[in-house]
Amino acid sequence: MASCLSALQCRTNFTIKNITEYMLPETKEAFYLHLDGKSPNLIIRPAFEVFSGEFATIAGVHAKYDYFHNAQMTRFPKRLHKSLTETHYGLAFSFDTVEAVQLFIARLSAIVKGT
């Protein structure tokens, strides 16, 4: 996943535990890569929720049902979730293939750039 994002010219800012912050190419739009034991997830800002149906129509892309919460996603908004303090959150997507990741990043870039 990380090599795919590098090939797409997404730049990385930092890695803390299992979260890596990336920026879309030629923009200042942040997204996060979450690596756990099963499969990697890309997390985007909750403002893109209106496009989640469109992302889910890309072959090999699967939208997660609920919001993904993590304190290290500092560029994202916060909300209360299972604690007394607010936590950063976003929309998580998993992928079946490298091609699905490429199509997802291309579509996200087009939305951000307004094309």
The SS3 of residue 31 is strand
> How does pLDDT run across 13-40, given as a tens digit for each residue?
999 989 999 999 999 999 999 998 778 9
For the chain, what are the domain ranges? 2-113
DSSP string, 54-75: HHHTSTTEEE-SS-EE-TT-TT
Would you give the DSSP letter of residue 47? G
pLDDT at 108 over 90: yes
Q: What percent of the chain has pLDDT over 70?
A: 99
The predicted model gives 50-77 an average pLDDT of: 93
pLDDT at 32: 97
pLDDT at 9 over 90: yes
SS3 content of the chain, % helix, strand, coil (to 5): 30, 35, 40
> How does pLDDT run across 65-85, given as a tens digit for each residue?
889 999 999 999 999 988 789
pLDDT at 114 over 90: no
- CATH topology for the 2-113 domain: Aspartate Aminotransferase, domain 1 (3.90.1150)
Q: How many other C-beta atoms are found inside a 10 Å radius of the C-beta of residue 70?
A: 19
pLDDT at 5: 94
